[in-house]
Amino acid sequence: MGSAFTEVPKSPVVAKPKRSAGPDPDALPELPDLPPERRAIQVVDDRERVVDADAARARGLTIVDLSDGWAPSVFDDRVGPQGAKLSNPYRAVYTGLASDRSDGDGQPLSVGERNYLELYGIPPALSVLRHRFLVDAQLGCGSAYDPSRLVAVDEIRTWGASTEQKELARYAARGTRLEAARVAAGAPTLEALPTADARAAKEIKEQIEFQNERLAFAEAEKRLICEGLMGAGRHKTGAYDTAMRAAMLDFQQKQAVMDQADIRGGTLEALARMPLENDFLALRRVLTERAMHAGGFVEDGSVGDSASDPNTPTYLGADGTRHRVPDLATPSLDATLARLGLATPEDAVAFFRRHPRADFDTLRVAVRLPPAPEYYGAAMDLSAEIDRGDVWYDFPYDAAGVRLPQPRERFPTFTLFVKWRGERVPLVRWRTTVGGWRSELASDGQEYYRWKGSDVGPRVWRHIVAAPVWIPPPSSPLASMVKEKKVNGTYARVTNYDETGPGYLSAYGLAAAIHEEMRRGPEGATFFDNGIRTHGSFDYMSLRGRFSHGCHRLYNEQAMRLFSFVLRHRRVRAIGSIPLGFRRTFYSQGEVFEMRLPSRGFYYELDPPLPVEVLEGRIKGALTKPVSGYVPKPGVKYASPPPGVSDSPDSRAGGDGP
């Protein structure tokens, strides 16, 4: 379940029993006249009823928030040291994005515009899923395309416009030639065409594969058009043009498939599924997050695949026996679905039909979630470990600029532990990133390579930041600080806050923890920030093997689940928004722009700090120590020797964006 939020499952939707037969001990009496703040729902004997949320809590049930006002608890408003309310300003932006009301700048969406942001850590609100279910139930796209052709191929190769024309022309010419040979040989099919050598057999095989890909491509076109993601009038049939590429990316982001407009296996499987099945998978992912946050859970099965896996870690219970570290995500989801009476896509359609859009202003459900493991508490002894995996310090290019192979068998991983009865128990283990050789603009205006390393050794998380802000160093290219945006019906060039944040596209994602080196002296502990963070990231493809500028990236939804969990199970002080007052005026294409960053983000302080150990990993290659300073790019002529490098925290992390 560890990556279920960001990967489309390969298996179809399998209906589970809504609830086991027999008496329902958690059924509460129906009280339809309760005020909104006291209301929750339960499905009892296949009929939905309104129950008392306070009574549910008293019975040990958990209230799972289904409203459009939900956000991960890292964005909750807090109470400051003097009792003052500390409002988290990003919460309203988050809920606006999730509900398809506004964009990342807080501006209203145009009519019909949608935010497909699940891969960026913002799953759709229940009212958005309601619209999907009801529209898809009416459209009947299941009969508009042939799913068997979509799953008959492993991928559909795509190219840019000019290359595509050449490839399609080559395919057509080869097809004409092979068809003539088939007719001459009297073969009933191309597969039956006799071949004289291995080369001819390979050519026939490639032609058949290409034919199947083109058949699958035609079905993908039909599916995107029927689903309303692509207008037939703006697309040239048979071409992977701009209109279809944009529609495919929308489809992938809508279905949480990480193919970024390439048409690979995950995309083909999602295209082949009935729209309502995809909607139900999205509902499962959304309810997983809601239930996990409601329970204050983090364990998702990522430290072990199943209860039958002998490698699943265990902990010593109070009963003297060893218990497996549980996957709490799956049973939390199952319990929520059962309490809502949702076993099939058709159940979900009925649920959304009986709930008008306005219900999702306050809707909640009373659920008995799985019990928290006995190692849970308000002040858990948590720690984190980051294994850098295989690390190459060697420069990755030869003198001619040819990339040198630097294979990695072990990739970086992040593990959260709890200390329980004298041993460290792993709770989650996720893929992360570490630094490597990156291109960087130096102070002399020229680009060089620089080793962007991740600190090794003991560190601590003292501060967790919701909606963190990255401060661009003076060397940041000005071109990235301007974007085109539709304002009042017309396009204008405006200051680009996407990378700085706060926001899901920012360099530090939606939540971050600051790595600090704790140094003890005669006057107590002091802390040194070397610019490294564990943070969420919109660049979800980088979690599949690329490098960062030194920081440890997680998927945005993982970062929010992680830090929400830490804040709930550690002693913490809410500081609130930290003033920044950053202001920078710059020129771009003859226009003057101004960037203002009033806040660093919403800060929390952990007391005591949470220990983090960054392991050196396995050093590969000839060099055993990293190279300091800039290294010229092979084949580039420079006007002067490389300048010195800045060692400031902002420069070290380097704007840990794409």
The pLDDT, as a whole number, for residue 15 is 56
Q: What is the tens place of the pLDDT at every residue in 173-197?
A: 999 999 898 899 899 998 888 887 8
Q: CB neighbours of 510 closer than 8 A, spacing ≥ 6? A: 74, 90, 94, 121, 122, 466, 467, 503, 504, 536, 556, 559, 560
Six token digits for residue 632 = 């010229």
Per-chain mean pLDDT for the chain: 91
Q: CB neighbours of 440 closer than 8 A, spacing ≥ 6? A: 447, 448, 449, 450, 452, 475, 630, 654
Residues 159 and 250 in one domain: yes
Burial of 18 (C-beta count, 10 Å sphere; 0-12/13-18/19+):
middle
Q: CB neighbours of 97 closer than 8 A, spacing ≥ 6? A: 103, 104, 115, 117, 122, 504
pLDDT at 1 over 70: no
Buried b (16+ CB within 10 A) or exposed e, 411-425: bbbbbbbbebeeeeb
Residues 150 and 276 in one domain: yes
Residues 510 and 649 in one domain: yes
Out of 288, 307, 326, a domain closes at: 326
Q: For 633, which DSSP code?
A: P
The pLDDT, as a whole number, for residue 524 is 83
Distances (CA, A) of 546 to 385, 407, 439, 504, 552: 20, 12, 14, 19, 11
Closest CA to 88 of 605, 500, 554, 599: 599
Residues 436 and 516 in one domain: yes
- Measured in whole angstroms, the distance separating CA 4 from the mean position of its chain's CA atoms is 10
- Measured in whole angstroms, the distance separating CA 455 from the mean position of its chain's CA atoms is 25
Residues 265 and 390 in one domain: no
DSSP, collapsed to helix, strand or coil, labels residue 293 as helix
Residues 529 and 405 in one domain: yes
The pLDDT, as a whole number, for residue 199 is 85
Q: For tokens 């979509």, name the residue.
A: 150
The pLDDT, as a whole number, for residue 9 is 37
Residue 94 lies in a domain: no
The pLDDT, as a whole number, for residue 647 is 64
Q: Residues for the chain: how many in total?
A: 658
DSSP, collapsed to helix, strand or coil, labels residue 560 as helix
Out of 301, 326, 351, a domain closes at: 326
Residues 292 and 400 in one domain: no
The pLDDT, as a whole number, for residue 200 is 86
- Measured in whole angstroms, the distance separating CA 649 from the mean position of its chain's CA atoms is 26
Q: What is the tens place of the pLDDT at every residue in 223-252?
A: 999 999 998 888 999 999 999 999 999 999
Q: For 300, which DSSP code?
A: B
pLDDT at 478 over 90: no
pLDDT at 111 over 90: no
Residues 272 and 418 in one domain: no
pLDDT at 22 over 50: yes
The pLDDT, as a whole number, for residue 165 is 92
The values of phi and psi at residue 254, to 5°, are -65, -40
Residue 170 lies in a domain: yes
Six token digits for residue 211 = 């034919």
Q: Domain of 212?
A: 1-21+125-326
Residue 346 lies in a domain: no
Six token digits for residue 537 = 């990231």
Distances (CA, A) of 569 to 378, 380, 430: 5, 6, 20
The pLDDT, as a whole number, for residue 442 is 84
Q: For tokens 């490294």, name the residue.
A: 532
Average pLDDT of span 499-528: 91
Q: What is the tens place of the pLDDT at every residue in 134-152?
A: 999 998 888 889 999 999 9
pLDDT range class, residue 6, cuts 50, 70, 90: very low
Residue 100 lies in a domain: no
Q: What is the CA radius of gyration of the chain?
A: 27
pLDDT range class, residue 625, cuts 50, 70, 90: very high
Residues 456 and 389 in one domain: yes
Out of 278, 299, 326, a domain closes at: 326
pLDDT range class, residue 475, cuts 50, 70, 90: low
- The CATH number that applies at residue 452 is 2.40.440.10
The pLDDT, as a whole number, for residue 490 is 82
Residues 321 and 386 in one domain: no
Please give the tally of structural domains in the chain: 2
The pLDDT, as a whole number, for residue 488 is 72
Six token digits for residue 101 = 């009301």
pLDDT range class, residue 381, cuts 50, 70, 90: very high
The pLDDT, as a whole number, for residue 250 is 96
Q: What is the tens place of the pLDDT at every residue in 383-419?
A: 999 999 999 999 999 988 999 999 999 999 999 999 9
Six token digits for residue 291 = 């239930």
Q: For tokens 């019909």, name the residue.
A: 112
Distances (CA, A) of 297 to 1, 331, 429: 13, 11, 14
Count of other CB atoms within 10 angstroms of residue 14 = 8
pLDDT at 650 over 80: no
The pLDDT, as a whole number, for residue 307 is 61
Nearest-10 crossing angle of helices 275-295, 126-139: 160
The pLDDT, as a whole number, for residue 4 is 42
Six token digits for residue 227 = 């689903």
The values of phi and psi at residue 69, to 5°, are -90, 0
The pLDDT, as a whole number, for residue 377 is 94
Residue 307 lies in a domain: yes
Burial of 155 (C-beta count, 10 Å sphere; 0-12/13-18/19+):
middle
State what percent of residues in the chain have pLDDT above 70: 93
Residue 595 lies in a domain: no
State what percent of residues in the chain have pLDDT above 90: 72
CA 287 – CA 165 distance, rounded (Å):
44
Which amino acid, residue 376?
Answer: Y
Which amino acid, residue 390?
Answer: D
Residues 205 and 272 in one domain: yes
The values of phi and psi at residue 282, to 5°, are -65, -40
DSSP, collapsed to helix, strand or coil, labels residue 150 as helix
The pLDDT, as a whole number, for residue 18 is 64
pLDDT range class, residue 308, cuts 50, 70, 90: low
Q: Are 537 and 555 in contact (CB under 8 A)?
A: yes
Six token digits for residue 462 = 């003292």
Residue 4 lies in a domain: yes
Which amino acid, residue 445?
Answer: G
Q: Are 124 and 98 in contact (CB under 8 A)?
A: yes
With vertex at residue 28, the alpha carbon angle to CA 24 and CA 30, rounded to the nearest 5 degrees, is 125
Residue 165 lies in a domain: yes
The pLDDT, as a whole number, for residue 658 is 28
Beta strand 314-316 with 322-324 is antiparallel
**Helical spans, DSSP H, in 308-372:** 329-340, 345-354
The pLDDT, as a whole number, for residue 569 is 97
Residues 408 and 319 in one domain: no
Q: What is the tens place of the pLDDT at every residue in 551-575?
A: 999 999 999 999 999 999 999 999 9
**Helical spans, DSSP H, in 186-197:** none
DSSP, collapsed to helix, strand or coil, labels residue 67 as coil
First to last CA, the chain: 27
Q: Are 272 and 150 in contact (CB under 8 A)?
A: yes
